[in-house]
A = this chain, B = another copy of it.
């Protein structure tokens, strides 16, 4: 695998990375290319763990920052190779991975090579398996197997934010709420007990729920409580004895995972509640001095991140972390995934301004 050509614009570096297909589990080639590009540089100490690569400066600076991004993508859908396109006067780079999140990883790669003496020590991370099961996540693996490499005073994750700074993230809980009844033939329904009718009360709670808006460290997080699935029924002539409502609760990072679970259990008191997924959010930590300096250098106003991201892994380690990357998160995983080229340039400029301040 040849090196990535970094002599071109960060947009064209993004294009090179995207055109090396790397659906989760198939990251070896793009990981090899990044390794070749970084190998032999005096200012970087390199590590590889599976298809994750860590490159760090050791300048003895007072503070260290992790700057991380994943190199895998969701499956293709006829959206590679990349191409340029212009719409309403805006230039885009189109294709799988342009938003989520090789534009961010390309900017990181260029800066890792270019900035031989950044203002803070930097631990650059390119990792695998972000788009699949949590147990495979490359950043999670590094945290477990090489915690020494993950120590830092601040972390920046290159997930798409439209190149604005989005602090922290909401937590995420999924629960299955079941109602039970008794089967009977529907011609004699009074012998049975309809579990789907009993689920009306569960849906009523959801429909009436007023989601909170919660200020955390100066950012307002909007919560959400929703049915994302419902299922029940045996046959067209049978009174059903079970119904399941699949609920998703997105909760502000001021609420712990345990508190979120307690809230759901209280709300659905009397129903059968099984928690099937639970991940704490991340506080934005924008009051940390490094974060404040970063915000000042990049400019603009920080916003809350609603979707759960790997910043929560840093938050769990006590490291303040923000999301900062090119691209509209609503286009992530979209068949028409595309990033405005200007956002790639802005993102590089913002990171460079801060790291060279």
Which residues of chain A have a CB within 8 Å of any CB of chain B?
170, 172, 174, 185-190, 194, 196-201, 203-204, 206-207, 211, 222, 224, 226-240, 243, 245-246, 248, 250, 277, 306-308, 330
Which residues of chain B have C-beta atoms less than 8 A from A277's C-beta?
236
| Contact yes or no, B230 A196, CB < 8 A | yes
Q: Are B187 and A224 in contact (CB under 8 A)?
A: yes
- Residues of B near A308 (CB, < 8 A) are 187
| Contact in complex: B240, A199 (CB < 8 Å) | no
Please give, as numbers and ranges, the residues of chain B lying within 8 Å of A222 by CB-CB distance. 190
Q: Which residue of B lies closest to A250 (CB)?
A: B187
Given A197-B227, A229-B240, 13 new contacts (CB under 8 A): A170-B187, A172-B187, A186-B228, A188-B330, A196-B227, A196-B228, A200-B204, A200-B206, A226-B239, A229-B232, A230-B232, A230-B243, A233-B246
Name the residue of chain B whose CB is nearest to the CB of A224.
Answer: B189
Which of B185, B207, B246 makes the CB contact (< 8 A) with A200?
Answer: B207
A204-B200, A233-B246 known; A226 vs B194 contact (CB < 8 Å): yes
A239–B228 contact, CB under 8 A?
A: yes
Q: Could you tell me the distance in whole angstroms from the C-beta of A202 to the nearest C-beta in chain B?
A: 8
Does A185 lie within 8 Å of B330, measured CB to CB? yes
Q: A197-B207, A207-B200 in contact; A306/B246 too (CB < 8 A)?
A: no
Q: Cβ of B206 and Cβ of A306 under 8 Å apart?
A: no
Q: Can you list 30 A-B pairs with a CB-CB distance of less than 8 A?
A: A174-B236, A186-B226, A186-B228, A186-B248, A187-B250, A188-B306, A189-B224, A194-B226, A196-B203, A196-B226, A196-B227, A196-B245, A197-B206, A197-B207, A197-B226, A199-B230, A203-B203, A204-B204, A226-B239, A228-B236, A228-B238, A228-B239, A228-B240, A229-B240, A230-B231, A230-B243, A231-B232, A236-B248, A236-B277, A237-B248
Report the bound CA distance from A250 to B207 in whole Å.
29
Q: Which residues of B lie under 8 Å from residue A197 when comparing CB positions?
A: 203, 206-207, 226-227
Contacts of A170 in B (CB 8 A): 187
Tell me whether B196 and A306 are in contact (CB under 8 A): no
A191 nearest in chain B by CB position: B330
Measured CA separation A126–B259 after assembly (Å): 66
Are B207 and A203 in contact, with the CB atoms below 8 A? no
Q: Are A196 and B229 in contact (CB under 8 A)?
A: yes
CA distance A186 to B277 in the complex (A): 14
Question: CB-nearest residue of chain B relative to A170?
Answer: B187
A245 cross-chain contacts in B, Cβ below 8 A: 196
Return A229 CB to nearest CB of chain B, in Å. 3
The residue of chain B having its C-beta at the shortest distance from the C-beta of A277 within the complex is B236
Q: Which residue of B lies closest to A249 (CB)?
A: B186
- A229 CA to B195 CA in the complex, in Å? 10
Q: Is the CB of A236 within 8 A of B229?
A: yes
Q: Which residue of B lies closest to A333 (CB)?
A: B185
Complex Cα distance A172/B236, Å?
11
